[in-house]
Amino acid sequence: MNAKAPSYHGHRFPPEIISHAVWLYYRFCLSFRDVEDLLAMRGVIVSYETIRQWSRKFGAEYARKLKRREGRLGDTWHLDELFLTIHGERQYLWRAVDQDGDVIDILVQPRRNRRAAERFFRKLLKGQGSEPRRLVTDKLRSYSAAHRAIMPSVIHVTERYANNRAEVSHEPTRQRERQMRRFKSTAQTQRFLSAHGVIQNLFRVGRHLVRAPNHRTLRARAFRVWVEVTCAY
């Protein structure tokens, strides 16, 4: 393994099993115990707590490497915010997706005011390296204020139904929230959803949009990228 490869030093199980367990957890709406059972069916006996540790350590590491590989995403950004209840307090998950539905970035914050919107805009610009061609949001005034302050030259669209793509992108988050019986902390939410979005981007190959042979080709390519990133040869 080269210097940039994930470090599996000190782990009893080989990279193939670790990366497969992490893939199962982030790719599908499964609990750690579900992943434990799936591995046990294949003769791999490992506790769900070990899978939790693998997912926490390697999920973020895999996601960082995948994010560097995917580069800059689309030039139309759809932004929306979703409220989450964490320890009885309301938090807001800010999410941006491009015109293809790929998650650009997320940020969990306690507010949805102008300052929170500006902070999210700066995070997006830092991650993507340049401004988008169009910005699509709902009519929340925080977006308009942040747009005027951060990227006034970008076209800002607030028409009704124009932002359905961002609203639909929240559905996997709600599914995982139910599966996990709510998120446990702001840091855990940010860590999990950041990795979840990037990994889902890799395996979103639009099956309903392409013919079966093309879908299999795209899926095979996604698996190759996963193997290269995880170094699970």
pLDDT at 2: 47
Do residues 88 and 180 both lie within one domain?
yes
Same domain, 60 and 91: no
Strand 89-97 to 76-86 pairing? antiparallel
Please check whether residues 81 and 177 belong to one and the same domain. yes
Kindly state the tokens that stand for 179.
């599966």
Matching residue, tokens 């590491």: 61
Structural domain count of the chain = 2
Sign of the C-alpha dihedral computed for residues 103, 219, 51 and 56 taken in this order: negative
pLDDT at 71: 84
pLDDT for the residue 225: 96
In a domain, 134, yes or no: yes
Calpha distance 204→97 (Å, rounded): 13
Phi, psi for residue 87 in degrees, rounded to 5: 55, 40
pLDDT at 183: 95
Alpha-carbon 74 to chain mean position: 16
Query: Apex CA 66: angle with CA 120 and CA 222, to 5°?
Result: 125
Query: For the whole model, what pTM was predicted?
Result: 0.91
Tokens 């698996």, residue? 223
pLDDT along the chain (233 residues), means of 10: 73 96 97 98 97 96 94 94 94 96 96 97 96 96 97 96 93 93 94 96 82 91 96 85
Q: How far is CA 168 from CA 97, 161, 173, in A?
A: 10, 11, 10
Beta pairing, strands 134-136 & 76-86: parallel
Residues 55 and 82 both lie in one domain = no
Domain for residue 9, yes or no? no
- Residue 144 resides in a domain: yes
The CA dihedral of 62, 63, 64, 69, to the nearest 10 degrees, is 90
| 193 within a domain of the structure (yes/no) | no
Domain that holds residue 80: 76-184
Task: Give the three-class secondary structure for 54.
Answer: helix
Assess contact for 64 and 120: CB atoms under 8 A. Answer: no
Contacts of 99 (CB under 8 A, 6+ apart): 74, 75, 76, 78, 165
Same-domain status, 51 and 108: no
pLDDT at 1: 43
